[in-house]
Amino acid sequence: MKHVKASMQVDRSFVVGRVDPRLFGGFVEHLGRAVYEGLYEPGHPTADASGLRTDVLDLVRALDMPVTRYPGGNFVSGYNWEDGVGPRETRPVRLDGAWKTTETNQFGTNEFVDWCRKAHSAPMLAVNLGTRGMEEARQLVEYCNHPGGSYGSDLRREHGYPDPHAVKLWCLGNEIDGPWQIGKKTAREYGRLAEETAKAMRMVDNAIELVVCGSSSAGMPWFAKYEAEVLEHCFDHVDYVSTHVYYNNHKGDTPHFLSKPDEMDRQIKQLAATLDFVSAVRKSRKRIDISFDEWNVWYHSHEQNKTLPEWTSPRPLLEDVYNMEDALVVGGMLITLLNNADRVKIGCIAQTVNVIAPIMTRKGGPAWKQTIYHPFLHASRYGRGVALRPVIDSDTYENADGLATDYLHAAAVMNDDGGVALLAVNRSLDAELELSVRLGGFGGFGVKEWLTMCHADLEAVNTEAQPETVAPETRDGATVKGEEIRAALAPASWNVIRLGQP
- 424 strand-pairing partners: 410, 495
What is the phi/psi pair of residue 117, to 5°? Answer: -60, -40
Distance CA 484, CA 430 (A): 25
Q: How many CB atoms lie within 10 A of CB 114?
A: 16
Distance CA 159, CA 110 (A): 9
Assess whether 175 carries a catalytic annotation: yes
User: From the candidates 111, 142, 294, 319, which is the catalytic residue?
Assistant: 294
Q: Please name which of 442, 389, 453, 391 lies closest in space to residue 420, comparing C-alpha atoms.
A: 442
Residue 171 near residue 27 (C-beta atoms within 8 A): no
Distance CA 6, CA 440 (A): 17
Helix/strand/coil (H/E/C) assignment for every residue in 178-198:
CCCCCCCCCHHHHHHHHHHHH
Distance CA 170, CA 194 (A): 12
- The residue count of the chain comes to 502
Q: Please name which of 181, 186, 190, 55 lies closest in space to residue 467, comparing C-alpha atoms.
A: 55
Residue 293 near residue 242 (C-beta atoms within 8 A): yes
Q: Please name which of 186, 38, 31 lies closest in space to residue 98, comparing C-alpha atoms.
A: 31
Name 353's Cβ contacts closer than 8 Å, sequence gap at least 6: 28, 33, 34, 38, 39, 56, 60, 359, 360, 361, 367
Query: Sign of the C-alpha dihedral, residues 17, 219, 278, 167?
Result: negative
Distance CA 25, CA 139 (A): 26
Q: How far is CA 75 from CA 65, 108, 182, 428, in A?
A: 22, 13, 9, 39
Q: How far is CA 497 from CA 16, 410, 470, in A?
A: 19, 11, 19
User: From the candidates 41, 175, 195, 325, which is the catalytic residue?
Assistant: 175
Cite the active site residues.
175, 294
